[in-house]
Structure 1
């Protein structure tokens, strides 16, 4: 039978091949006492059934897989530190993997198959682009998955941890409005990412509530890194009628905006106010120190890790998605706009 929602067992493959379970096990483990014809038939059926063996490492308890996509940054490091702290408290080991999914050199479920085959106890994926195939492979193997700030939502019953992004977007925008800004731009992340959609919705909601116009020319998307902030910040500052304040998707983008302002001789915050999102260490060390929306990143990592361990032990959790509270942190990058 083809692979489906139920996990394929050795007995299923053995029955399809007309051999014993022991023979299938020998093929999986590379034993030589199986005829080439039988081996080829069993291997073909293993691929057809999408079978992945779960091997428990000798001499120890299976560990938790902590997955990141592409290069680690300050935001990811904060989450990782929270997860590692929780793992230490629970005496659970963690294996960190960084996926380079953007290169497109692997099948979508290759990483999932590797995690299952390595005998991990559960998976915590941080801001990672998951496909339905990824989620399905882990589900068939009965391997718990917890996602922190997912970039996509491929499965309605995905267990995830995030923050109050909508409230954070409102708080940041209201702060700028209270200072007297009306020409406010938003430099957003991936358009379909739930966290970006929530922050953008919070921005629009606050602007509309204040009767301030949302100027489409001041909006940007797909901007998640420092260089993106430099480029988008430069575009917005070079407009004839430029914004007086910008809300960025994250601290990295906000720091890029600060650099774009510096190279143009614009004073922050006197001529341009900038607000980030995350409150990573970079926000505190920037010049000027960055006003930002604090996500409890370490706590998010810890909650995700503890939840994954609970699920791996067969326990139930009381949520499918949990949001931890954000908080506006006002520093030196925001002020009243200069009088025209």
Structure 2
């Protein structure tokens, strides 16, 4: 700035987004530094990144006329890469991505990772056509990172309320919990236990609500001792099953809120010398492919993961092409698949 130039005053132009040069002047940094922040480069000090991001949130960012083309990628970000659940989702994403000549990139986001760093930096550096976030929510900072780079995101099987403006695809968790419990009631069970997922997870809460509703409609009181959390983990299901089956009045049936926990219940029953379904009926949730090969094959609620992923990817493609969505929240139905793990109670 020469002696005759006056300092730039952003407040003198309310409502007008700023250029990289103007953002740099306000932040007191170089245009190269602002460009690195805007383009998701990692070699920027956290304090500087936070300052520039704050200015973008306050004033907006006016992009150059020549827009940087996104990479021909769909990024699928999982909360964890364990078991068969991610495989079924990737199948659905790939079905739609291939129709648009896009490759699929897979990454995960550890639950305790600081907001705005780590996984988000990797996504921004790859500049994908869009992102599908599986079983987690976004902080305001993470959302801002994606919005300011024109990277659309669709949440799949979100763990919480996506909030306004966030497209999402889920399943009928409440109705699935209702149908699983109603099936056991129809067989004659009254001591029905449930092993839920994490308390903070919306799908877990919805399945528990469906369980409680089914009991209430049948005139059966929900016993707090028969409700426990297994964290959607095999070991969690095993540990809770051991606790439940050692109660003075143990359950005759267990509804595990995912197939992993149901696998843990099978292990606990074997360790305690109990026959399924002769002495214990078990219902899972998901209907992952290995479940029909369990001994006995698992009765479970089918969550259409592949179809959900395909629907989410279709929504993402519309957003990437600038097309409006007919609806921002999609819920696909669940279905009870009855196999050999459930039978009338022996007592």
1:16-55 alpha-carbon deviations (Å, 9 max, x no partner): 2579xxx6148857xxxxxxxxxx9x9975541127999x
| Pairing 1:210–2:213 present | no
TM-fit CA distance, 1:108: 3.9
Match for residue 77 of structure 1 among 87, 91, 95: 87
Q: How far did 1:199 drift?
A: 0.8
What is the 5 A alignment of 1:1-340?
A: 9-16=19-26, 24-25=31-32, 28=35, 46-50=49-53, 61-102=71-112, 104=113, 106-153=114-161, 155-339=163-347
Is the alpha carbon distance of 1:98 and 1:43 closer, same or farther for their aligned partners in structure 2, counting shifts above 3 Å?
closer
Over 3 Å counting, the alpha-carbon distance change for 1:307 and 1:6 in structure 2 is: farther
Kept in 1, the 8 Å contact 2:134–2:156? The answer is yes
| Equivalent pair of 2:76/2:132 in contact (CA under 8 Å) | yes
Farther off after superposition, 326-335 or 110-119: 110-119
Contact 2:70 2:128 in 1 (8 A): no
Q: How has the CA–CA distance of structure 1 residues 9 and 143 changed in structure 2, closer, same or farther, with 3 Å as cutoff? A: farther
**Could you say which residue in structure 2 is the equivalent of 1:36?**
none
> Contact 2:73/2:104 (CA < 8 Å) preserved in 1?
yes
Question: Closer, same or farther in 2 for the Cα pair 1:6/1:218, shift >3 Å?
Answer: farther
C-alpha deviation, 1:61, in angstroms: 3.8
Task: Report the CA distance between 1:217 and its aligned residue.
Answer: 0.3
Quote the RMSD (CA, aligned, Å).
3.1
Secondary structure of 2:128's match? Answer: coil
Q: Is the 8 A contact 1:7 1:142 kept in 2?
A: no
**TM-score normalised according to structure 1 size:** 0.85
Answer whether contact 1:75 1:280 (CA < 8 A) is retained.
yes
Instruction: State the Cα distance separating 1:172 from its structure 2 match.
Output: 0.6
CA–CA separation in structure 1 for the residues paired with 2:16 and 2:274:
60
The DSSP-based 3-state class of the residue aligned with 1:63 is strand
SS at match of 2:193: strand
Kindly indicate whether the alpha-carbon contact (under 8 Å) linking 1:188 and 1:200 is maintained by their aligned counterparts in 2.
Answer: yes
* Alignment TM-score, normalising by the size of structure 2: 0.83
Unaligned 5+ segments in structure 2 are 1-9, 37-43
CA drift of 1:73 comes to 1.8
The offset of 1:71, in angstroms, is 2.7
Q: Which sits farther off after the overlay, 198-207 or 134-143?
A: 134-143
8 Å CA contact 1:251, 1:282 repeated in 2: no
Can you list the C-alpha shifts for 1:132-176, whole angstroms capped at 9, x where unaligned? 322232233332111111113363332110111111111111100
CA contact (8 A) 2:284 2:301 kept: yes
Distance 1:92 1:258, change over 3 A: same
Q: Give the secondary-structure state (helix, strand or coil) at the position aligned to 2:275.
A: coil
